[in-house]
Amino acid sequence: MNKVFKVLPLALLISGAVHAATDNPWYVGARVGGTTYDNLDGAIKGQNADKDDWGGGVFLGYNFNSWFALEGGYTYLGQADIGSDGFEVQGIDLLGKFTYEVSDSFDIYGKLGGFVFDADNSMSSVNDDKSGLAGTAGVGLEYFFNDALSARAEYQYYNQVGDTQTPGESDIHFYGLSLVYHWGAPAPLPVVEPEPEPMPEPVAPEIVKVEAVGAVLPFAFDSDKLTQRDIELLQPVAQQLVAYPDTQLYVVGHTDSRGSIEYNQKLSEDRAAVVAGYVGNHFGIDESRIVAQGRGELEPVATNDTEEGRAQNRRVEVFVPGFEMEK
């Protein structure tokens, strides 16, 4: 037969450089080892044959899942030498591979399938070649260096390869080592960071302006008594104090110019105290929120030369200042 078929597996073994890649279904490998011819039959039966030789090959496989793969490839099984002649076998393997995972890096497996062979009869004067299909089975151990590279130690049996007449047939045993490269992992999906939630636009607080509230309470000559009219005038002021607990009440007492300055000062203070006391007692306003003082006759709003003017000057002014607040 053409000796190029012997050279082909060797060239593939030598040139098959392995590069790490992401683990996935596809794999390719090369194997080399020894072969033994057994149960010789046909024209070579009983011959004093050298039954041991070397063998090897290349293979391609696809893992359908974690335990089953389909594998095929070229295998050279050497020859049984008889003098200067021999019975040489090569062919194509097609088989299923059944795997049991012992650990993350170590598997055991079995293989079962067929071998399409070409048996070269160099013993015959017509150099007759025979081809056919033989059954094959094997077992092995596989160790993974990483996701891309593994090594195998295996045994494979080939049943009755050859022809019952010429050149003959034989059971063939292969035992050897393999180096396997795995590839084909899909590219990892990119990690898409979620879009950050937009920050809410700051909402400017609504500013509410509260108007000042006040009243002027008229008093009779030389009197510090509140009248019903005074009490009615105090109602809006008191309600403002109740509605807004942070507000303060200012109470200022005044008199006309009749009497001494000292007397009028004391009378204006008494008038302011009466008003402040009424608001505090009747509306529950703490005294710390009330500022009361007297100005005597020093701040008239009208002339003291007439009775009408003097009546306007006898007064108590009450007011709650306006303010702004956030709503």
Q: Return the minimum-mean-pLDDT range out of 34-48, 84-98, 198-212.
A: 34-48
- Calculate mean pLDDT across residues 181-205: 84
Which of 1, 115, 133, 132 lies closest to 59 in space, CA to CA?
Answer: 115
pLDDT computed for residue 9 by the predictor: 43
In the predicted model, what is the mean pLDDT of the chain?
Answer: 84
pLDDT in tens, 127-185: 566 788 999 999 999 999 988 899 999 999 999 887 766 666 788 999 999 999 999 88
The rounded percent of the chain whose pLDDT value lies above 70 is 84
Residues of the chain with CATH 3.30.1330.60: 207-326
Tokens 């003097």 identify what position? 310
Class of domain 207-326: alpha beta
pLDDT computed for residue 22 by the predictor: 37
- Calculate mean pLDDT across residues 230-245: 91
pLDDT in tens, 68-101: 999 999 999 988 777 666 678 999 999 999 999 9
The rounded percent of the chain whose pLDDT value lies above 90 is 56
Rounded to whole angstroms, the Cα distance separating 211 from 202 reads 28
pLDDT computed for residue 21 by the predictor: 34
Rounded to whole angstroms, the Cα distance separating 273 from 275 reads 5
- Calculate mean pLDDT across residues 88-115: 93
Do 177 and 151 form a contact (C-beta atoms < 8 A)? yes
Q: Is the pLDDT of residue 122 over 80?
A: no
Residue 307: pLDDT band by 50, 70, 90 thresholds?
very high
Q: Identify the CATH number of the domain defined by range 4-183.
A: 2.40.160.20
> What amino acid is encoded at 230 in this protein?
D
Residues of the chain with CATH 2.40.160.20: 4-183
Q: Is the pLDDT of residue 1 over 90?
A: no
Do 96 and 85 form a contact (C-beta atoms < 8 A)? no
pLDDT computed for residue 126 by the predictor: 44
- Tell me the backbone φ, ψ of residue 275, rounded to 5 degrees: -65, -45
pLDDT in tens, 243-299: 888 899 999 999 999 989 999 999 999 999 999 999 999 999 998 999 999 999 999
Rounded to whole angstroms, the Cα distance separating 56 from 2 reads 17
- Tell me the backbone φ, ψ of residue 279, rounded to 5 degrees: -65, -45
Residue 116: pLDDT band by 50, 70, 90 thresholds?
very high
Residue 50: pLDDT band by 50, 70, 90 thresholds?
low
pLDDT computed for residue 187 by the predictor: 78
Q: Is the pLDDT of residue 56 over 90?
A: yes
Q: Is the pLDDT of residue 3 over 50?
A: no
Between residues 322 and 266, which one has the greater pLDDT?
Answer: 266
pLDDT in tens, 178-192: 999 999 888 777 888
pLDDT computed for residue 153 by the predictor: 96
Do 165 and 185 form a contact (C-beta atoms < 8 A)? no
